[in-house]
Amino acid sequence: MRLEIRVAGFGGQGIIRTGLMLAIAACIHGDKNAVQTQSYGPESRGGACKSEVVISDEKIDFPKVVDPDVLIAMSQEAYDMYVDTVKKSGTILLDPDLVQKQKASSSRVFKVPATRMAEQLGKTIVANVVMLGAFTSLTNLVSVEALKKSVLDNVPKGTEKLNLAAFEKGYAYGKRLLKEK
Amino acid sequence: MAEKSRAVLTGKHFMQGDIACAEGAIAAGCRFFAGYPITPATEVAERMARRLPEVKGVYVQMEDELASMAAVIGASYAGVKSMTATSGPGFSLMVENLGLAFMTETPCVLVNIMRGGPSTGQPTKPGQQDVMQAKWGSHGDYEIIALAPSSVQEIFDLTIEAFNLSETYRTPVVVLADEIVGHMRERVTIPEADEITVIDRKKPRVPPGEFASFKPDEDLVPPMACFGEGYRFHATGLTHDESGRPSTSSAEAQQKLVQRLCDKIRKNADKIVKTERTMLEDAEVAVVAYGITSRSALSAVQKAREAGIKAGLFRPITLWPFPDQQVSQVAKKVDAIVVLEMNYGQLVREVERAAKETPVIFLSKLGEEPHKPAEILQAMRRALQ
Amino acid sequence: MSEELHPFETFLRKEMIPHIWCDGCGNGIILNSYLMALKDLNIDFNKVVTVAGIGCIGRVSGYTKTDSYHTTHGRAVAFATGVKLANPELKVAVISGDGDLFAIGGNHFIHAARRNVNLQVICANNFTYGMTGGQYGPTTPLDAWTSTTPYGNVEHPFNLIHLAAASGAVYVARWTTLHVRRLTESIKKALQKEGFSFIEVITPCPEIYGRYNKMRTGIDMMNWFRKASEIRNYSDPAKAEITPERIVLGEFVDIEKPSFGRLLHGMTAKVQEKMKRGNR
């Protein structure tokens, strides 16, 4: 089965790394094939940015995302641009503080205030990892162990504890959202 | 052994294309990199800057791409396998000395991670717009070997292949990858060092007094002496005879040299050319695609088969020399050909030439995304009508 | 009758000779000084690479029986940088002209000097593009006549000494082809320096430059050098401009600074050391 995940926001949010951690979890720590591609502008910070991951049991031919199964939207611009591309059976994870204007969608929508939660941990920079934690519990697409390993392998030395806390916080929040539904 | 294991990172990795390219180069024995930062090839340089000192190699960041290519040729003549990596605007500057590398029969590798052009174009977006430039960009008659990887694993493998070809034929080899392949991440399996075939240039078999540095063997490739080995030879970008002596007025010398340099590639084309055929045995429509677009094509071909269309994929892995014969063979068996490129029509001209009577439909894509499988499927239907 | 060998018999490629240079040209003197310097220093000719760019003096690479390479126009210094870094055992000399080194190759020159690449660069400055028939170049004096300045040159020339010194060269000197002994000594000194050394040699081009500027023979041009030359060792490079009245000669810079190669290979050794320790 082919799974398509699109993470979108702006440069500096760790969008590309989020996709990378997801792909590594599936491919190296899991037993699937994965491809991660990205698209960014000339700006190092602040420009539109997206990272795409395709996960499959089979060899992946077309490496780009067309109709994502999951969209993680970390900015209004990203949400507006990609909300309609998500599969009807798909899932949207959004940060409600960054995506304030939302429209009706047939996909499952989860609001994860990742940036605010990261702020509570003392560093907004880990918002993407909070989101990844929420993604794990909300979608159940990649194992929690694999994702945790991948996060730890791909964050700067000395920040492992903070990132693990961010992941757990997001993971627990996702669980809670599921119960509420 | 420690050094070998440092050079070849045996194992499974989730790696970016540009990084895999650098690792392929190091595994092939490249120990010199000269370059100039440019998106989307910078990651190759960054990886080389970190990795080369670990294997006693040299990374140098030159003042521009003219200098980079010149330094690469210098290092190769000093006996060290060398390379550079760039993208369109830098490639434009490098083709100057690509001609010099061809003329002085210098083994070296030039990687072009293609972005959108012309001019500065779209630096962070993919393109396949330098395909013709690789073949015709430098002045005068020349032949080039150009390889187009379509995955991260393949950019690793083909960078090794590029070095091997350049050493075998004493000629510059271009790796023509696109931004998507350069920047995407996939699983790469790097084999044990002993399992990697590494070819080194032929060395002179006669003592200095008897050696002529541009006298070819039967395969049209001359053995190569390097600086400091006692041969005290001369090399020049001027037309020269077999001893390296400039011959600027003799028509015979010009005819002989240019013909041999080109024939060295042309007459060895069957040994150089690599292609991949998928589901072409009973195909009625063939898609011709290379690099990243070949993966869209593969997906489309599978979808076509599911829809009952007899489709197949022909993928040139070697873009230059162009696989004329292979394309002709495919063309004879199918009713139509669909060519995909992320440019406004380049390699399609070669396909049309080789396809002769078989109709060719061209699907151009410019900008961010490669062709979507659905669009290709549509084109196949159109082609068969 | 026994045939007497030319003293440079073994240092020249006989098959390349006769050379292409005109009567009265100074390039032969520069080649002579270069070979003399190599010979005097007993440098192993098997470990010398002579690199040249395009122009009349560029042919020097073909005539010199060391390993040699004749690059594209302007790229001699960049090519030589690759050679030297890839094999630090080699002695790499660049001999080229003012147009090659300072117009089309100017960027490579200043950056190689800045990096302090261990190269010996000798510039034959004849104030013009001789091979293409005498157009003005980056060192053509103001008001001089050339084939492309039919009303006199309105561009200011480079002061190469000042440029080399400011770019970071560790050894900078200027001589004319009249000062053969000093030039040879200077080349010897440069060959022994660690780092980027630069010698400008003012050389006559009576056939092309002289013809336009009322110095039709080599002797005429040499007479100009003789009259105008002033040796001012270690004087201010900024004041070493060349005018019809005054050509300031001498050694201008002779300093010590670690070469790029030393720093680069030193860094590599440190990385190697660190990895060894890491492996234990």
Q: For residue C108, how far is the Cα from the chain centroid?
A: 14
A142 touches chain B (CB under 8 A): no
| Domains, chain B | 2-195 (3.40.50.970), 275-384 (3.40.50.920)
| Domains, chain A | 2-180 (3.40.920.10)
**pLDDT per position as a tens digit, B156-179:** 999 999 999 999 999 999 999 999
The pLDDT, as a whole number, for residue C1 is: 52
User: How far off is chain B from C194, nearest CA to CA, in Å?
Assistant: 19
The predicted model gives B380-385 an average pLDDT of: 93
B310 touches chain A (CB under 8 A): no
The pLDDT, as a whole number, for residue B1 is: 46
Ramachandran angles phi, psi of B5, nearest 5° = -70, -25
Say if strands C247-254 and C171-176 run parallel, antiparallel, or are unpaired. Answer: antiparallel
Comparing CB atoms, the residue among B12, B13, B299 nearest residue A62 is B299
Comparing CB atoms, the residue among C13, C45, C85 nearest residue B60 is C85
**pLDDT per position as a tens digit, B53-74:** 999 999 999 999 999 999 999 9
Among 3.40.50.970, 3.20.20.370, 1.10.20.10, 3.30.70.930, what is the CATH number of C10-279? 3.40.50.970
Mutate to test the interface with A, among B186, B276, B287, B292 (most CBs of A within 10 A): B186
Residue B295 scores a pLDDT above 50: yes
B4 touches chain A (CB under 8 A): no
ipTM score for this prediction: 0.97
Task: Judge: B62–C271 Cβ closer than 8 Å, yes or no.
Answer: no
Full pLDDT tens readout for chain C, 280 residues: 567 888 888 899 999 989 999 999 999 999 999 999 999 999 999 999 999 999 999 999 999 999 999 999 999 999 999 999 999 999 999 999 999 999 999 999 999 999 999 999 999 999 999 999 999 999 999 999 999 999 999 999 999 999 999 999 999 999 999 999 999 999 999 999 999 999 999 999 999 999 999 999 999 999 999 999 999 999 999 999 999 999 999 999 999 999 999 999 999 999 999 998 886 5
**pLDDT per position as a tens digit, A78-97:** 999 999 999 999 999 999 99
Residues of A in contact with B369 (CB under 8 A): 64
Burial C118-150 (b: 16+ CB within 10 A, else e): bbbbbbbbbbbbbbeebebbbbbbeebbbeebe
**pLDDT per position as a tens digit, B308-332:** 999 999 999 999 999 999 999 999 9
Residues of C in contact with B224 (CB under 8 A): none
Q: What does the angle CA A23 – CA A24 – CA A25 come to, to the nearest 5 degrees?
A: 90
Non-local (6+) Cβ contacts of B298 within 8 A are: A61, A62, B278, B313
Token digits of residue B267 = 């007459």
User: How far off is chain B from A65, nearest CA to CA, in Å?
Assistant: 10
Non-local (6+) Cβ contacts of C186 within 8 A are: C173, C175, C199, C251
C10 touches chain B (CB under 8 A): no
Per-residue pLDDT band for A1 (boundaries 50, 70, 90) equals: confident
Residues of A in contact with B185 (CB under 8 A): 20, 23, 35-37
Residue B213 scores a pLDDT above 50: yes
Q: Give the count of beta carbons closer than 10 Å to the beta carbon of residue B338.
A: 31
Chain B's closest residue to A17, CA to CA, is B185
The pLDDT, as a whole number, for residue C92 is: 98
pTM, to two decimals: 0.96
| CA–CA distances in Å: residue C38 to residues B228, C88, C186 | 15, 18, 12
Per-residue pLDDT band for B30 (boundaries 50, 70, 90) equals: very high
A&B contacts, CB < 8 Å:
61
Check: CB of residue C86 under 8 Å from CB of residue B79: yes
A51 touches chain B (CB under 8 A): no
Residues of A in contact with B183 (CB under 8 A): 37-38
The pLDDT, as a whole number, for residue C279 is: 63
Residues of B in contact with C86 (CB under 8 A): 31-32, 58, 74-76, 78-80, 82
Chain B's closest residue to C70, CA to CA, is B236
B302 touches chain A (CB under 8 A): yes
